[in-house]
Amino acid sequence: MTHKLWLQKQKLNYNKNVFDIIQFGSSTIENKLPNDVDIAVLFQKIPLKEQLVYSQEIKKQLQKITDLPIHIKSFDLYSFFDSANFTRENILFHGISLIDKKFFSEKLRFIPKIQIYYSLERMGKNEKIKFNYMLSGRGGKYGLLKKYNGNLIRPGLVEISPNYENIFIEKISALTKKFRIKKVLVSSE
């Protein structure tokens, strides 16, 4: 069984008040071995008691297609954007809709991106060449950018999809410790 539920052809039955069903957290990130599957159910404005009942019905359906435990959270649109919601950023950057198979933030007309700023200062020529090969490839082999659909915005800055953040961090940190990460939402219009 898989933990990438958005890749499954499932026919979920859900209430008309469901705005979206979103998988988020470590189970959406490549090269991670999740212990569970985090699901957020985002509702139109309905009472909390009804949200909990409908969420449990969705959880039962999803539990049939994965062997990992499912942790489900319910929100209405107001509580989702409340500053006390500590999962909001994770859902916006890593959340993938189980309904339309796209990043959840695309429903809000934003595309989540991870920007990795790096410096090759104080690296030897060979290390710089290795770094370049890692990003761009060599000898007919794809580099990270082509393989994972990333973009070199300018020297010292790459932009990638959030689900590949872990892969890039592992590879870059093996060659340099001089990098930082910035999460951005880019307008899709």
Q: Which domains does the chain have, with CATH numbers?
A: 5-106 (3.30.70), 112-187 (3.30.70)
Question: Hey, what are 109's tokens?
Answer: 């007309």
Cβ-proximal residues to 101 (8 Å cutoff; 6+ apart), any chain: 6, 7
Cβ-proximal residues to 78 (8 Å cutoff; 6+ apart), any chain: 45
Choice among 10-19, 52-61, 123-132 with the minimum mean pLDDT: 10-19
The region that residue 139 occupies, defined by phi over 0 for left and psi between -120 and 50 for alpha, beta otherwise, is left
Residue 64 vs residue 151, higher pLDDT: 151
Cβ-proximal residues to 102 (8 Å cutoff; 6+ apart), any chain: 96
User: Is a pLDDT exceeding 90 seen at residue 34?
Assistant: no
Rounded to whole angstroms, how far apart are CA atoms 72 and 28?
A: 15
User: Is a pLDDT exceeding 80 seen at residue 189?
Assistant: no
Rounded to whole angstroms, how far apart are CA atoms 9 and 115?
A: 32
In the chain, the amino acid numbered 154 is: R
pLDDT score for 6: 60
Residue 1 vs residue 126, higher pLDDT: 126
- In the chain, % of residues over pLDDT 70: 95
pLDDT digit string (tens) for 60-83? 988 888 888 999 999 998 899 988
pLDDT class of 45 with cuts at 50, 70, 90: confident
- The CA-CA-CA angle for residues 183, 75, 185, to 5°, reads 20
Alpha-carbon distances of 47 from 39, 52, 58, rounded to whole Å: 19, 9, 17
User: Is a pLDDT exceeding 90 seen at residue 31?
Assistant: no
User: Is a pLDDT exceeding 90 seen at residue 96?
Assistant: yes
pLDDT score for 8: 67
Residues 34-51, mean pLDDT to the nearest whole number: 91
Query: Dihedral (C-alpha) 16, 17, 22, 25: value to the nearest 10 degrees?
Result: -150
Residues 80-90, mean pLDDT to the nearest whole number: 91
Q: Calculate the CA 96 to chain-centre distance.
A: 7
Cβ-proximal residues to 88 (8 Å cutoff; 6+ apart), any chain: 80, 81, 82
pLDDT class of 5 with cuts at 50, 70, 90: low
The reported pTM is: 0.82
Q: Are 163 and 73 in contact (CB under 8 A)?
A: no
Residue 176's closest CA among 138, 115, 124, 113?
124
In the chain, the amino acid numbered 139 is: G
User: Is a pLDDT exceeding 90 seen at residue 38?
Assistant: yes
pLDDT class of 171 with cuts at 50, 70, 90: very high
As beta bridge partners, residue 152 has 158
User: Is a pLDDT exceeding 60 seen at residue 2?
Assistant: no
